[in-house]
Structure 1
Amino acid sequence: MGHFILSSSPIIGHLAPLLPVGTELVRRGHRVQVLTGSRFAEQVAAAGLEHVVMPAECDFDASDLDAAFPERTTKKGLAKLRFDIDNLFSNPMPHQYRALQSLLAKSRVDAVLVDSAFCGVLPLALQPKSERPAVFTAGVVPMYVSSRDTPPIGLGLQPIPNVFGRIRNAVLEMLVRKVIFAPCHRVFADRLREASGAELPGYFMDGTTLTDGILQLTCPSFEFPRSDLRPGLVSFVGPVLPPPPATFEPPAWWADLDSGKPVVLVTQGTIDNSDHSRLLLPTLHALADADVITVATTGGKQLTGDVPANARVAEFIPYAYLLPKVDVMVSNGGYGGLHYALSHGVPLIVGGDSEGKQDAAALVAWSGTGINLRTGSPKPKAIRKAVDKVLGTASYRTRAQDLRRELAGLSAVDTIADRMEASMRAQLAS
């Protein structure tokens, strides 16, 4: 029997893809511990896994970041982005690493799997491979790996596939590293030094490249190509999507979705949904006089404001039941939600500008599966124009269907479980 640790930031969208992997490893006869936030004890237990509570110093509530970090309400734009990088990723590192060390000290561990934001694994990854278990990153957000072929991470830009594009990338990369995110790099390096005494060997946003492998939860067609990737570093394994609930009680208006009119779904995801005036309400108003049915899912929050006659509202509807009826999804760019839509061949419109969603929006536009609104607070006019274009242009649905078939050929849970078992066998053989 092997012993594996899954570690996740206290963010449900980051934890959720790891749980089915843990369940599969348990099914294969292994022990699995999950180091994550205290709020997720029930979900971890329901997956048949051992829950280990994150240290209080880094156990924040990601569903209400402003309440978790009151100072965040005073920040806007770049200052807010820097604040989030420091407080959600860098500052938790020493506390996360301490918790991980405690687990490693108690018994032999064969491999560790973390989400992309769990920086506490980096001090472990920097140790000699002979002195530690294998360490893997589950890519639950767009791939954060610098390349001469891509613009810097965090700007929401697409590659330009020629020499001028590489020149642009190099200039922007220097600006980002030396000016825009230089303070964040210093904080990250300080936290790494505080955690383990180690020096940061490269750019802080390339931290995942220090692990033994990035298991990216997508397909190659939904990620920018990088000709300078380290061989064997990245494996595209496909998304981990939650199974449909055993029972589903449809809302009273469910039959309206079969009226023959196009169905437009709008959602602000599970984190950035406290202010529905950013995307959800503008979409409802933009489509109020359109010959469509608009479905708004509020992420468990109460919707306040006028609801047009052609709109239908619910706090939550399982995507497995809803997406087969949807013609286009308007989203703030959550990575999991985008892949759920693409797994059903649904084209996308994305308005996101926080937590890496601007980079997800760029991937949507680059892949041809939808439109990037280039803001997290789009105007109704821009939303209406984008919806009309997606519904009226066959190529968006064609590309979404292409990716649906590509994603269907991948099996993330089995692939990741196989990889972790293989690392266990290699370690035992050495």
Structure 2
Amino acid sequence: MPEILIAALSPVGHFGPLLNVARGLVDRGERVTVLSGAAHEREIRSVGATPATLPPQGDLDLDLLEPDSGREEISGIKRLNFDIVRLFVAPMPHQAKALAELLTQKRFDAILADYGFFGVLPFVLGERSARPPVLLFSTTPLMISSRDTAPAGLGLPPSTSTFGRLRNRALTLLSQKVLLRPAHKAANCQLHRFNSPELPTFLLDVGVLADRLIVPTVPEFDYPRSDLPANTRYVGMVHPSPTMRFRPPVWWQKLDGDRPVVHVTQGTVDNSDPRRLLQPTIEALADENVMVVATTGGPHVSELGFPIPHNAYVADYLPHDLLLPKVDVMVTNGGYGGVQRALSTGVPLVVAGNTEDKPEVAARVAWSGAGIDLRTGDPTAKAIRAAVREVLGDGRYLRRARELEAAYAQRDGVAEIAALIDEVIGERAVAP
């Protein structure tokens, strides 16, 4: 019976999918330890896995993004470097120490780590025979550099033309050698503390160093790359467990009427300011022949601070597996998980996001033909109204979303990840 170690940062976009993988591995009889923040201990036990506590200094601390962190005083590339260094690079030594302690306590057959869990890098860069196989799980659209794509973060579509590849190469060199050089240098400085070799590749390309790089989506929702690394595997979406207990609001049955349903959400992270997307969407559609269902992702409805029109309903949270089958268009700021939930249900999208990986998610929605990228995180009510009208009125968006739904339905993310774990364990067993 294999012993599997899963390492995940605490935010829901990192922890949630890997908890679902843990559940699937336990269900098939494997022993699983999950290293994450202390707040997740009960959830880890609930799926039958053993919790291991990551020290606070080793976790992704979203408080570092608060106004008093100094982050608001910088912008653009400086802010991006700030985020990478403070959120992902600085915790590296604490993560590596926690991993090392676990590896001395128990013999693990494989490590499955969140892509942002940089504490695994000293082990990946060390002697291969001295560590278990390592699989990295991408929690964002694939960021690996390619001759066919611009560097991650710009939200640019792919291009394989001669000019396009020249553009891609120039932008990639600029990004790696100049713009994000401080973050890369900071990572190497941390590695020096472990007497570890420097990174042989760019920091955001570290997935190529793992035994397997897991991409939890379908190829149809990602840019084709003629130079895709050989260790990369698309596995489809890692679906959460179905909702078992749900008390629907009194207006729930109205969603089964004749009017189109538009769902708007700012996700569970970038949701502190409803004026960015919730408010303009609700206001934009107030006089349209649609029903609007908005979820705040945490803040109470009473905190919104603006009037709710007669055709809109607002809740703190609604389970997507029950809501999305009733939805005709989803308006979102581009969270990777939420967008894939919509597409796996055949729901076309309007995306307005400009933080974290959201520009890349939005660009893929537009590239795939399953929705509209508003190319801003602060859209006007007019722009949202026009986009929703276009998606509802042009059947091409729905058809493309349904095609992606079929692609997702052909894959079981948890089962494919389990098969990859078996694969790397088998390879190690026969290695000389």
| Partner Cα distance (1:143, 1:27) in 2 | 28
Maintained 8 Å contact 1:350/1:361: yes
Q: Which residue of 1 aligns with 2:9?
A: 9
- Asked whether the 8 Å contact 1:4–1:111 carries over to 2, the reply is yes
Please give the alpha-carbon distance, in whole angstroms, between the structure 2 residues aligned to 1:227 and 1:388.
36
SS in 1 for 2:263: strand
Q: What is the letter of the counterpart of residue 375 of structure 1? A: T
1:390–1:211: structure 2 CA closer, same or farther, 3 Å change rule? Answer: same
Which residue type is aligned with residue 50 of structure 2? E
1:399 is matched with which residue? 400
Q: Which runs of 4+ in 1 moved over 4 A?
A: none
Q: Distance in 2 between matches of 1:428 and 1:68?
A: 50
Partner of 1:158: 157
Deviations 1:357-398 (A, max 9, x none): 111111111111111111111111111111111111111111
Q: Is the 8 A contact 1:60 1:68 kept in 2?
A: no
Letter in 1 for 2:234: F
Whether 1:246 aligns to 2:251 is no
Report deviation, 1:160: 2.1
Partner of 2:269: 271
* Contact map agreement 2:348 2:391 (CA 8 A) in 1: yes
Deviations 1:254-279 (A, max 9, x none): 12212211111110111111111111
Gaps of 5+ in 1: none
Q: Which amino acid aligns with 1:159?
A: P
Deviations 1:271-301 (A, max 9, x none): 1111111111111111111111111011121
CA contact (8 A) 1:4 1:33 kept: yes
Aligned to 2:292: 294
Q: Is the contact between residue 189 and residue 200 of structure 1 (CA under 8 Å) also seen in structure 2? A: yes
| Corresponding letter in the other structure for 1:32 | V
> Can you list the C-alpha shifts for 1:116-149, whole angstroms capped at 9, x where unaligned?
2111111111123222111001122100100000
Q: CA deviation at 1:338?
A: 0.8
Taking only aligned residues, the RMSD between alpha carbons, in angstroms, comes to: 1.6
Change (3 A) 1:359 1:419: same
- 1:110 corresponding residue in structure 2: 109
Q: What one-letter code is carried by the residue in structure 1 that aligns with 2:239?
A: L
Pick which of 67-76 and 214-223 moved more.
Answer: 67-76
Deviation at 1:249, TM superposition (A): 0.9
CA distance, structure 2, for counterparts of residue 196 and residue 382 of structure 1? 53
For 2:266, the aligned partner's letter is Q
Matches within 5 A, 1:57-72: 57-62=57-62, 65-67=64-66, 70-72=69-71
Match of 1:333 in 2: 334
TM-aligned CA distance change 1:74 to 1:391, over 3 Å: same
Bigger drift between 75-84 and 239-248 goes to 75-84
Secondary structure of residue in 2 paired with 1:144: coil
Alpha-carbon separation, structure 2, partners of 1:28 and 1:263: 39
TM-score (norm 2): 0.95
Question: In the aligned structure 1, how far is the partner of 2:307 from the partner of 2:39?
Answer: 33
Matched residue, 1:214? 213
**Per the alignment, in what secondary structure is the counterpart of residue 40 of structure 1?**
helix
Report the CA distance between 1:209 and its aligned residue. Answer: 1.4
Match of 2:364 in 1: 363
Distance 1:125 1:193 in 2: 14
Q: Which residue of 2 aligns with 1:310?
A: 311
Partner Cα separation in structure 1 for residue 395 and residue 270 of structure 2: 30
Q: Kindly provide the CA deviation profile for residues 332-359 of structure 1, in whole angstroms up to 9, marking residues without a partner as x.
A: 1111111110111000111111121111
Displacement of 1:67: 4.2
Q: Distance in 1 between matches of 2:305 and 2:77?
A: 29
Aligned to 1:389: 390
Give distance in 1, aligned partners of 2:271 and 2:249.
Answer: 21
Partner amino acid, structure 1, of 2:241? P
2:76 aligned partner? 77
Where do 1:226-245 residues align within 5 Å? 226-231=225-230, 233-245=231-243
Cα deviation 1:172-196 (Å, max 9, x = unaligned): 1122123221222211222222244
User: Alpha carbons of 1:196 and 1:276: their partners in 2 closer, same or farther (altered >3 Å)?
Assistant: farther
2:136 partner letter:
T
- Residues 206-246 of structure 1, C-alpha deviations (whole Å, 9 max, x = no match): 01111111111100111111111222x11111111212221
Q: Number of residue pairs matched?
A: 428
- Contact 2:26-2:47 within 8 A present in 1 as well: no
Query: Are 1:189 and 2:188 an aligned pair?
Result: yes
CA deviation after TM superposition for structure 1 residue 24, in Å: 2.2
Contact 1:333 1:357 in 2 (8 A): yes
The 8 Å contact of residues 7 and 35 in structure 1, kept in 2 or not, is answered as: yes
Q: 1:97–1:195: 8 Å Cα contact kept in structure 2?
A: no
Q: Determine the structure 2 residue equivalent to 1:224.
A: 223
Please state if 1:19 is matched with 2:19. Answer: yes
Aligned to 2:278: 280
- Percent identity over the alignment is 46
**Aligned residue in 1 for 2:137:** 138
**C-alpha separation between the residues in 1 aligned to 2:205 and 2:51?**
29
Equivalent pair of 2:260/2:289 in contact (CA under 8 Å): yes
Cα distance in structure 1, aligned partners of 2:177 and 2:170? 11
Helix, strand or coil: the match of 2:193?
helix
The runs of 5 or more residues in structure 2 that have no matched partner are none
